Amino acid sequence: MQQVQAAVGATGRASYGMTRGTMRAVDDTRAPDLHDPTSPAAVGDEDAALMLAYAAGDAAAFNTLYARHEMPVFRFLRRSLGSDGAAVVDELHQEVWLAVVRNAASYQPRARFATWLYGIARSRLIDHWRARRPHVSLDEPAANDPDETLADRLPADATVQPEVRALTRAQREAFLRAVEQLPAAQREVFLLHAEGELTLAEIGALTGVGMETAKSRLRYAMVKLRTDLAGWRDG
């Protein structure tokens, strides 16, 4: 957080004084443009208003945004990374917030702030995976059926509810292990929904798969999680 605080400075424009070493060449011009001309953008989005205030020079507005979203973004990164998480999550988390600072002056509320923020976090994850090993696309077809994606391998269950409650510490640990074992596409949608509180429409736009695919992936993820945790419910 120290580097982020230093980068925030007195105004949003101060972010451009950061060195390439501090930012590690973070460039989020790729942050998704999710403008929907059929609906008013960011109506009632207090976070978007805070981001605009920060861009106009209100450093306190950034502190409020950071306090609200720090831990959900951290958990999204940590749980997306799985076994790699402990070693690199702090670095990636810092990169996300430094990217927010860097892009403040050009920020436009074309979607909810949370959607924009998790788009940056998702880009950081993709960059990490590509640097570490050949990256398997989240939409890569299953090997035995070019028309079937990895997300389609689990049967859907219309009775699945959009939440899983882990009441004890042991249950929470089992739940987190089950999340890590989800197929990548399902895990991504589940975490964007659970940690980012993004709607299915927002997730579909952010990931480029559309709302119906996002909905089915979330449903399959919930089926898998409930199956993996069935022993806890029945025991």
CATH assignment of the domain containing 230:
1.10.10.10
Domain that holds residue 182: 153-234
Distance, in Å, from the CA atom of 191 to the CA atom of 197, rounded to the nearest integer, reads 8
3-state secondary structure 62-123: HHHHHHHHHHHHHHHHHHHHHHHHHHHHHHHHHHHHHHHHHCHHHCCCCCCHHHHHHHHHHH
- Same-domain check for residues 119 and 169: no
3-state secondary structure (DSSP) of residue 160: coil
pLDDT at 192: 95
pLDDT at 232: 62
Q: Which of 97, 132, 167 is the last residue of a domain?
A: 132
- Same-domain check for residues 126 and 166: no
- Same-domain check for residues 128 and 160: no
Count how many domains the chain has: 2
Q: What is the DSSP letter of 167?
A: -
- Counting as low any pLDDT under 70, the low residues of the chain are 1-44, 84, 133-168, 232-235
- Same-domain check for residues 72 and 123: yes
Does residue 146 lie in a domain region?
Answer: no
Closest CA to 14 of 142, 101, 85, 109: 101
- Counting Cβ atoms within 10 Å, is residue 98 exposed (0-12), middle (13-18) or buried (19+)? buried
- Same-domain check for residues 67 and 10: yes
Distance, in Å, from the CA atom of 235 to the CA atom of 222, rounded to the nearest integer, reads 20
pLDDT at 41: 46
Q: Quick one: what percent of the chain has pLDDT higher than 90?
A: 46
